[in-house]
Structure 1
Amino acid sequence: MNRIERKITKIGNSYGITIPNDLLKKAGLQHGDNVQLEYVNDEIKITRSRKVSLPEGISEDFFETVQETMVEYDSTIKGLVDR
């Protein structure tokens, strides 16, 4: 199954399409999975979401803090490779 046609349906203030189960399985997706939508070269691209769920007790700004630390200590961290 390479091409299928679907009708766009109104769902509240948004629109949606149905996706056959076998197509979801081929993509490694299932009901309840999060996906990302992207508009690329006149096409809508659907990919599995790469968002990570944080364990309980980890604040939302955890990765932001890690990124700031990596930037601040970049040369020090890279210097550890040579030790």
Structure 2
Amino acid sequence: MTLAVVKDVERKVTKIGNSLGVTLPQEVLEHLGIGQGDEVRFDLSDGYVTIKKKSNIKLPRGIDEEFLEQMNDMINEYDQTFKGLKDR
């Protein structure tokens, strides 16, 4: 069994145009399998941020990404309603 080596990597927040940004060191990019042009996903939870490489999912013919985003928005908006229907 191989144990992962835990490393602390620090970066300073810098101004990039009108925004703030943080650069990622090469070792972090390699660890995540991220390269130039890849998209990343930020999951926010309890004061922590998890960075993941965004998965490229091949959508079925006739279904586009905008449709899925709209469906996701609707599900998030009506989540409690759906849960209430489940318990009926």
TM bracket (short chain): 0.5 to 0.7
Gaps of 5+ in 1: 68-83
| Corresponding residue of 1:24 | 29
Percent identity of the aligned residues? 32
Count of aligned residue pairs for this structure pair: 64
> 1: CA distance between counterparts of 2:25 and 2:65?
37
- Give the number of the structure whose alpha-carbon radius of gyration is greater: 1
Query: What TM-score comes out, normalization by structure 2 length?
Result: 0.53
Query: What is the CA-CA distance between 1:37 and the residue it aligns to?
Result: 1.1
Give RMSD over aligned pairs.
3.1
Query: What TM-score comes out, normalization by structure 1 length?
Result: 0.56
Gaps of 5+ in 2: 1-5, 72-88
Mapping 1:1-80, distance limit 5 Å: 2-52=7-57, 60=64, 64=68
Question: Structure 1 9/58 Cα, relative in aligned 2: closer, same or farther at 3 Å?
Answer: farther
Displacement over 4 Å in runs of 4+: 61-64
